[in-house]
Structure 1
Amino acid sequence: MSFKPQHEIHQRRFGRNLGVGLSLGAFVVLVLALTLVKVTSSDFKFPQNQAADQN
């Protein structure tokens, strides 16, 4: 049993999907890296509890 060759539109769609997937992956890595840099910096402080400030 052999498969039929892919139509041209499927090849173009795969290329476009691959590009979108790689772009999305790069964006996720960028956000993760920025978050890690912000959290691990020495001047990072958790916000004070606002409920305690209002009393």
Structure 2
Amino acid sequence: MTLPTQLTPEEARRRRKRSVAIALVLAALVLIFYVLTIAKLGPQVLNRPL
């Protein structure tokens, strides 16, 4: 088992920015799929009885 290496502050900052960018892209894809699904099903899908 290898010991974890300590990241420099610059590497940690870059990793954090990359993680935030990946999270934003993933959230955008989820939102696009949600909007496209609602558009494909039509607006009446929201007016169904529960």
Give, in angstroms, the shift of residue 36 of structure 1.
0.1
Partners of 2:43 and 2:12 lie apart in 1 by 49
Q: Highest Rg: 1 or 2? A: 1
RMSD between aligned residues: 1.9
Greater helix percent: which structure?
A: 2
Give, in angstroms, the shift of residue 3 of structure 1.
4.7
Give, in angstroms, the shift of residue 42 of structure 1.
6.0
TM-score between both structures, scaled by the size of structure 1: 0.65
- Structure 1 stretches of 4+ with a deviation exceeding 3 A read 1-4
Unaligned residue ranges in structure 1 (runs of 5+):
44-55
Q: 1:9 to 1:42 in 2, by over 3 A?
A: closer
> In the alignment, what sits opposite 2:11?
10
Q: State the secondary structure of the residue aligned to 1:6.
A: coil
Structure with higher RCO (Cα < 8 A, 6+ apart): 2
